[in-house]
Amino acid sequence: MNIILLGAPGAGKGTQALRIEENYRIKHISTGDIFRHHMRQQTDIGNLARSYIKKGQLVPDEVTLKIVEIALEDAGKINFMLDGFPRNINQAKALDGLVAIDKVINIDVDLKVLTDRICGRRNCMECGYTAHVSTLSDGVCPKCGGEMYQRVDDQEDTVRSRLEVYTAQTAPLIEYYEAQGKLASVNGMGAPDEVFAEIRKVLG
């Protein structure tokens, strides 16, 4: 099964992706994670991506499409879950020319709660686990003991532009995939386990 996870920044795509990966044999492909990896390694792609990511803007399509094509090849173009891609109609059309998508899961949240969720978000360096800062007693990952850090683009100013980009460029994908008959929306306002229970109903 080839899946796309759609949803605004902070909707819980990464959190649910980890659960889906654990419970179904599906390879998780996160363009954000790939860019962050390149940034840490200071590759040309990473240095270019950083200048956009820091401002809350999208990395240009030609660069993003290149990393997605490589990731899809690595996954054998089968049994994968795209998280954070596509983010605009142009990327979605390009993806249609590359692989067949079976289902698009849209994690639906009230945009008003997102600024707090994202600004308080901390991520584990080691395993990618995500938690709100209010639930952490120290800077250590409750899952693996790795170091928790705040992403460069999780500060308030950047979050504002990310949400604007989402509304203008990414939200139209909901209609795009609805028209293809592939869209399933789940309520993303509940606790992670509740959201995952809804996703299970969709994936079977």
170 binds ligand AMP (CB under 6 A): no
Is 117 an active-site residue?
no
Catalytic residue among 36, 50, 87, 122: 87
Is 54 an active-site residue?
no
Catalytic residue among 13, 36, 50, 117: 13
Q: Which of the residues 21 through 60 are near ligand AMP (CB under 6 A)? A: 31-32, 35, 52-53, 56-59
Q: How many residues bind ligand AMP (CB under 6 A)?
A: 18
Separation CA 58–CA 195 (nearest Å): 27
153 binds ligand AMP (CB under 6 A): yes
Using H for helix, E for strand and C for coil, what is the string for 127-172?
CCCEEEHHHCCCCECCCCCCEEECCCCCCHHHHHHHHHHHHHHHCH
Q: Among 57, 73, 84, which residue's Cα sits nearest to residue 173?
A: 84
26-121-124-139 Cα dihedral, nearest 10 degrees = -160
Is 162 an active-site residue?
yes
Q: Looking at the annotation, which residues are catalytic?
A: 13, 87, 121, 151, 162
Interface ranges with ligand AMP (CB under 6 A): 9, 31-32, 35, 52-53, 56-59, 64, 84-87, 91, 153, 162
